[in-house]
């Protein structure tokens, strides 16, 4: 188990049912050496009593902005500077909105405004509140300012609905905190744009063409890039995976939508990594109504989708561009051909169509090629492989620039 010895965490607890999990989070952080102080919003105290947090943290809990007793000990400005990391868990929709707009109308929002330390936010709210354009915009503002978003996860919610908006579990938040402090910094402050998952090409309102990609490989690469200190934007096709910590995620469905989002951000990116399994073709026409079963045979006319990777690689002053090649045979030969044809800085080839790696698997193996070099990343969990690939990309990116 990794340690958070000598790390000081200020845990902000806001009003939400997930607040009960935050008491366990304090225990988990403390058992690996972190020094934790807790500040609660007034709403949070309706869910869990301050005494609980006092007992698990071993320190007085901070509640009021203008509390003469507390200010006599450690004033709120001092407290804002005491922490190595401010973690807000759970972060309600209301708190996220107040943070995005610079409010300072309670202790916790003031601490966030008065600190120059990293802030991480673990959202917890109903799925519709999470999906609401106002919350989406507030989260965009936060990530643009460098505030990390850890989660949320998808699943069953306290209100009985199912969807995205659950706070990450205490152990996941603890791991995110460990990753935050152990970043190797090899991509520090670089903007990394990543595509992941499948695309969906509509045939009619109920049918589409897609593929077997789960998004796992791309999400692992995004997670590893964030751990290496990059500012990561993940453009994802339809998948059911939680957003990795510190990653800005943009959901799309079709290849054309993925193309539009990527092209709007590609020139500002330092590195582009295309892990998505993008449909090469789409139906030439999408019918307005469900197609009826009237004919014995049915012919679907397809037209080419734009090639996102090739378009980014052809940009003047474009990013360092890394493609993937998914092949069922002649893997290296086809991958090298793609690398040359699309003028890529690197390509990661993987065998698909076999059990135990590639699509729909927890594991994968990659053979990475670049001009004058290659490296085999043997079969491993996609999480580990993501880190190995990012280390290699960082090495090649910096080598190219010197």
- Catalytic residue ranges: 159
Closer of 125 and 278 to ligand PMT (Cβ): 278
- CA dihedral sign, ordered 21, 94, 261, 189: negative
| H/E run at residue 72 | helix 68-73
Provide the minimum distance between the beta carbon of 250 and ligand PMT in the complex, in angstroms, as a whole number.
15
> Is residue 336 within the footprint of ligand PMT (CB under 6 A)?
no
> Is residue 390 within the footprint of ligand PMT (CB under 6 A)?
no
φ/ψ of 339, rounded to 5, equals -60, -45
Work out which of 78, 137, 184, 360 binds ligand PMT, going by CB under 6 A: 360
> Is residue 352 within the footprint of ligand PMT (CB under 6 A)?
yes
Q: Which stretch binds ligand PMT (CB under 6 A): 14-22, 81-89, 124-132, 306-314?
A: 306-314
Work out which of 86, 326, 369, 393 binds ligand PMT, going by CB under 6 A: 326
Provide DSSP, 331-395.
HHHHHHHHHHHTT-SEEEEEE-SSTTSSTT-SEEEEEEEETTEEEEEEEEEHHHHHHHHHHHHHH
Residues between 176 and 195 with contacts to ligand PMT, criterion CB under 6 A: 195
Provide the minimum distance between the beta carbon of 382 and ligand PMT in the complex, in angstroms, as a whole number.
6
User: Count of residues binding ligand PMT (CB under 6 A)?
Assistant: 29
Closer of 74 and 263 to ligand PMT (Cβ): 263
SS3 70: helix
Q: Which two tokens stand for residue 321?
A: 């561009």
Provide the minimum distance between the beta carbon of 387 and ligand PMT in the complex, in angstroms, as a whole number.
15
What gap in Å lies between CA 229 and CA 223, rounded to an integer? 10
> Is residue 255 within the footprint of ligand PMT (CB under 6 A)?
yes
Torsion of CA 335, 264, 244, 352, to 10 degrees: -20
What gap in Å lies between CA 6 and CA 73, rounded to an integer? 21
Q: Which two tokens stand for residue 74?
A: 């450690």
Q: Which two tokens stand for residue 43?
A: 């709403």
> Is residue 325 within the footprint of ligand PMT (CB under 6 A)?
yes
Closer of 85 and 352 to ligand PMT (Cβ): 352
Q: Which stretch binds ligand PMT (CB under 6 A): 30-38, 129-137, 211-219, 372-380?
A: 211-219
Work out which of 275, 377, 387, 390 binds ligand PMT, going by CB under 6 A: 275
Q: Which two tokens stand for residue 188?
A: 């520090």
DSSP 311: H
Alpha-carbon distances of 103 from 94, 109, 210, rounded to whole Å: 11, 6, 44
What gap in Å lies between CA 312 and CA 267, rounded to an integer? 8
> Is residue 236 within the footprint of ligand PMT (CB under 6 A)?
no
**Distance from first CA to last CA of the chain, Å, rounded?**
37
Work out which of 119, 277, 346, 389 binds ligand PMT, going by CB under 6 A: 277
> Is residue 389 within the footprint of ligand PMT (CB under 6 A)?
no
Work out which of 153, 221, 278, 393 binds ligand PMT, going by CB under 6 A: 278
> Is residue 333 within the footprint of ligand PMT (CB under 6 A)?
no
Binding residues for ligand PMT (CB under 6 A) = 195, 197, 213-217, 255, 274-278, 280, 305, 307-309, 323-326, 338, 350, 352, 358-360, 364
């Amino acid at each position: 188990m990794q340690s958070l010895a000598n790390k000081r965490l200020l845990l902000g607890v806001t009003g939400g049912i997930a607040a009960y999990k935050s008491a366990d989070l304090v225990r988990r952080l403390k058992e690996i050496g972190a020094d934790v102080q807790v500040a609660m919003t007034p709403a949070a105290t309706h869910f869990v009593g301050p005494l609980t947090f006092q007992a698990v943290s071993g320190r007085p809990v901070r509640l009021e902005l203008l509390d003469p007793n507390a200010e006599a000990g450690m004033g709120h400005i001092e407290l804002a500077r005491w922490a190595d990391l401010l973690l807000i868990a759970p972060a309600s929709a209301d708190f996220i909105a107040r943070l995005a707009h610079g409010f300072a109308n309670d202790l916790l929002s003031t601490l966030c405004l008065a600190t120059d330390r990293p802030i991480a936010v673990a959202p917890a709210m109903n799925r519709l509140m999470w999906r609401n354009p106002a919350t989406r915009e507030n989260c965009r503002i936060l990530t643009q300012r460098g505030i990390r978003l850890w989660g949320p996860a998808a699943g069953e919610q306290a209100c009985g609905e199912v969807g995205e908006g659950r706070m990450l579990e205490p152990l996941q938040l603890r791991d995110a905190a460990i990753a935050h402090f152990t970043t190797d910094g090899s991509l520090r402050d670089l903007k990394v744009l990543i595509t992941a998952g499948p695309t969906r090409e509509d045939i009619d309102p109920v049918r589409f063409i897609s593929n077997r990609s789960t998004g796992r490989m791309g999400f692992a690469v995004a997670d590893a890039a964030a751990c290496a200190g990059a500012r990561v934007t993940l453009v994802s096709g339809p998948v059911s995976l939680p957003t990795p910590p510190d990653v800005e995620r943009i959901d799309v469905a079709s290849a054309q939508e993925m193309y539009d989002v990527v092209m709007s951000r590609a020139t500002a990116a330092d590195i582009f990594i295309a892990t998505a399994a993008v449909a090469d073709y789409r139906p030439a026409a999408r019918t307005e109504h469900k197609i009826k079963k009237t004919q014995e045979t049915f012919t679907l006319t397809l037209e080419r989708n734009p090639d996102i990777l090739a378009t980014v690689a052809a940009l003047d002053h474009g990013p360092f561009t890394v493609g993937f090649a998914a092949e069922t045979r002649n893997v290296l030969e086809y991958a090298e051909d793609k690398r040359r044809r699309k003028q890529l800085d690197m390509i990661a080839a993987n065998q698909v169509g076999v059990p135990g790696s590639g699509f729909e698997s927890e594991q994968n193996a990659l053979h990475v090629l670049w001009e004058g070099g290659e490296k085999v990343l043997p079969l491993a969990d996609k999480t580990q492989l993501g880190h190995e690939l990012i280390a290699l990309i960082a090495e090649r990116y910096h080598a190219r620039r010197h």
